[in-house]
Amino acid sequence: MNTLPQHPPGGTGPTRPSTAVARVARALAAAGVGSARVEAEVLAAYVLGVPRGRLALADDLNEAQLARLDELARRRAARVPLQHLTGRAGFRHLDLSVGPGVFVPRPETELLAGWGVEQARGRTDPVVVDLCSGSGAIALAVAQELPGARVIAVERSPQALAWLRRNAAERAGAGDRPIEVVEADVTAPDLLASLVGSVDVLLCNPPYVPDDVVVPPEVAGHDPAEAVFGGADGLAVIRPVVSRAAALLRAGGVVGVEHDDTHGAAVPALLAGDGDFTAVTAHLDLTGRPRYATASRRADGQHAPIGAAWQTDSS
């Protein structure tokens, strides 16, 4: 059982943020939490209501704030996700609402979102689709960075949809172009039938972890299983997404799909396999692991040779 060193008893006066952070960081590190110091700073800043970058300039913590920090630290040591404790998750230039029932967006997915933004930039009134949208991270990042884009976010989970709609409303209220939220199963053969042949950029961060993989406790106990696991080989959702992308994309449109780091060959092969795509490219994340694959819908409307070669690009 993990316990926090107790803060000094009442009557000894306020506690400096640096002192509280050091104590919490030691406890989180002992519990096996990675980046313990950073997370301790995030929790302390959250309790004090200040940006983490201004923590050193913040007022001392009083007894009530220390008690609250201790409780949050105990829950984090029990492997409740940091984002569930603060209710927020950063993603590119966004600060999103997250909590039970929705997958917490990961930093590596920012690479896919950034690729999508660059692909849509310069196109006239681009239509961008985000499949398996979850919290709406990818869709809302695109809408914020490309105000001229029409962005459609697709999600099937009622719990995730609640968070998606909440984030969409928050961003619209902040002045971003509103996105369109569609409740649908991305594996449906008639998905987004009204958009067939008209999508410029299609992005997807699907459930892709193979069913037998043991995931960290933050994932196993808190991320929805349907947003994490993708069947025996992790490709159960990706296969129909690739097939539907070929129908939805206009000639010259592009698709990007995030995948497990064991899928560095499998997903590009799926994109290259039926001949609808060209320029199939495998991308690495910042740690050098395979992370997402991209391709372009053939501009001539024809099929490329089956099993066409694909290339690797670092991101």
| pLDDT level of residue 307 (50, 70, 90 thresholds) | very low
Span 103-149, pLDDT tens digits: 999 999 999 999 999 999 989 999 999 999 999 999 999 999 999 99
pLDDT reported for residue 14:
83
Tokens of 308: 């066409």
Does residue 8 register a pLDDT over 50? no
- Residue 56 has a pLDDT of 87
The answer to whether the beta carbons of residues 201 and 126 sit under 8 Å apart is yes
Q: Which residue has the tokens 């985000």?
A: 130
Q: What is the pLDDT of residue 34?
A: 87
Q: What is the pLDDT of residue 313?
A: 75
The span from the CA of 113 to the CA of 98, in Å, is 18
**Edge-to-edge order in the sheet of strand 290-297:** 180-183, 150-155, 127-131, 199-204, 249-258, 290-297, 277-284, 311-314
pLDDT at 276 over 80: yes
**pLDDT tens per residue, range 71-90:** 999 999 999 999 999 999 99
pLDDT level of residue 9 (50, 70, 90 thresholds): very low
Three-state DSSP class for residue 229 = strand
Nearest CA to 143 out of 162, 169, 161 is that of: 169
Q: What are the tokens at 281?
A: 């490219």
152, 179 Cβ separation under 8 angstroms: yes
**Between the CA of residue 6 and those of 20, 28, 67, 71, 85, what are the distances in Å?**
10, 14, 9, 11, 20
| pLDDT cut 70: percent of the chain above it | 92
pLDDT digits 0-9 by tens, 12-58: 558 999 999 999 999 999 999 989 999 999 999 999 999 998 998 89
Q: Residue 261 — very low, low, confident or very high, per pLDDT cuts 50/70/90?
A: very high
- Which pLDDT tens digit goes with each residue over 136-194? 999 999 999 999 999 999 999 999 999 999 999 999 999 999 999 999 999 999 999 99
Q: What is the pLDDT of residue 4?
A: 55
